[in-house]
Amino acid sequence: MPTISDLSQPVSAGIVGAVTGFASSFAIVLAGLTAVGATPGQLSSALLVLCLAQGGLAMLLSWRYRMPVSFAWSTPGAALLVTAGAVTDDFAAAVGGFVLCAALIVLTGCWPVLGRLINRIPPSIAAAMLAGILFPICLAPVTAAVELPLVALPIILVWLVLQRFAPRWAVPAAMAATAVGVAFVAEPSAAGQPGWPALALVAPVWDPAVMVALGVPLYIVTMAGQNIPGFAVLTTFGYRRDISRSVLLSTGAASGLGALAAAPPMNLAALSAAIMAGPDAHADTERRWIAAFAGGATYLVLGLAAPLATLLVEAAPPSLIQAAAGLALMGAMINAVGTAFERPDHRLVALGTFLVVASGTTIAGVGSAFWGLVAGGFLLLTVRRAPRAPS
């Protein structure tokens, strides 16, 4: 029977992991949904559903497998949505893309070959696509510093100081500074009063162009940028039991149902998972599942804050929210650029992919993330040297 001292460490790690994950990226999710046409009520519904679903799944699967299985919304996917405004501003059509992404995740759980195909996308192309998606958002702090220097520069300074002395808290602190900044610049009538969280149901519209431009890249970045690294985190900390089928089926099904209440896809946690799966959670690996369970319970409580978070985004100047999102994504941008250009023989391929995606070009209603993958594949086939025949 675990004692209170045995429980305090993993429980506190779970709470810290959940609060850090929420505070670090809720603005990205809401900014992404806003970019594709979501209303304030739909934003609140999405955040509520995400918190309830990923919290419930974490509690269920962590208890079932006695492993620190934690979940999160797709941060790279949210970043993709921020740049998808050129593809559609019809939120119902975007929801159709969410449902397609969820169906592909379920299909991957049922048919592992699809997951292996995602794994076969060269890291240079996948990372360059992600870097191209993140690039415009990571420019937002620069833009905000010019447009709103009295508010944006203190936020950036807080982020920089915490990066030096307490990197784990840099992004949450920047989000807190953003909330303070919004209080100074928002008009008193810019938003209403926060109420109780409520669901806003959305009937998906099946627009083929949007499904290809949004659903397919969303699936790829969710798998390559979140699920695969999430499994790697668990393996790194010694959890080698294969739970991929359960994770993919459950997150895919939850994402499909959540999409009908305006929520984007969810996935296995990667960055915040390290807090709950690592030695900081507990010295005994068999006790760390308690951290993920506690983190899931914390997300259930954080779901109540969905209207307040939505109110913050609604009241803030868009450039300020995107600046906060850009600061939160700097680490992901650094990792993506490093991976994309790591192999000298793939650097031209990575550069071409990055430039096409970052351009934001839309062709035939299909966005640049898809065309970046096409360009990367074409360049790889064009510049790849055939192996020399043995002499």
d(CA 297, CA 302): 9
CB 70 within 8 A of CB 269: yes
CB 125 within 8 A of CB 353: yes
Residue 391 has pLDDT above 60, yes or no: no
Q: Domain for residue 309, yes or no?
A: yes
Q: Which of 76-90, 94-108, 209-223, 376-390 has the highest mean pLDDT?
A: 94-108
DSSP state of 366: B
Q: Which of 189-193, 216-220, 222-226, 325-329 has the highest mean pLDDT?
A: 216-220
Q: Domain for residue 81, yes or no?
A: yes
d(CA 40, CA 289): 35
- Number of structural domains the chain divides into: 1
- pLDDT over 70 percentage in the chain: 91
Residue 256 has pLDDT above 90, yes or no: yes
Q: Domain for residue 22, yes or no?
A: yes
d(CA 311, CA 292): 29
Q: Domain for residue 391, yes or no?
A: no
Q: How far is CA 61 from the centre of its chain?
A: 20
Q: Please give the residue that has the higher pLDDT: either 301 or 277.
A: 301
Residue 179 has pLDDT above 90, yes or no: no
Q: pTM for this structure?
A: 0.79
Q: Which of 13-17, 235-239, 290-294, 387-391 has the highest mean pLDDT?
A: 290-294
d(CA 369, CA 178): 29
SS3 label, residue 152: helix
d(CA 218, CA 211): 10
Instruction: Calculate the average pLDDT of the chain.
Output: 84
Give the mean pLDDT of 165-185: 82
The predicted pLDDT at position 249 comes to 94
d(CA 66, CA 78): 30
**pLDDT tens-digit readout, 97-145:** 999 999 999 999 988 777 677 667 788 888 888 788 788 888 989 999 9
Residue 87 has pLDDT above 80, yes or no: no
**What are the Cα distances from residue 51, in Å, to 26, 181, 196, 221, 251?**
10, 25, 15, 20, 13
For the chain, give the longest Cα–Cα distance.
78
Residue 387 has pLDDT above 60, yes or no: no
Those residues whose C-beta lies under 8 Å from the C-beta of residue 127, and which sit 6 or more positions away, are 335, 336, 337, 338, 339, 340, 350
Q: Please give the residue that has the higher pLDDT: either 168 or 266.
A: 266
Q: How far is CA 351 from the centre of its chain?
A: 23
Q: Domain for residue 352, yes or no?
A: yes
Q: Domain for residue 251, yes or no?
A: yes
CB atoms within 10 A of CB 212: 18
Residue 390 has pLDDT above 70, yes or no: no
Of the candidates 165, 147, 141, the residue with the CA atom closest to the CA atom of residue 333: 141
Q: Domain for residue 388, yes or no?
A: no
Containing domain of residue 153, as a range? 4-383
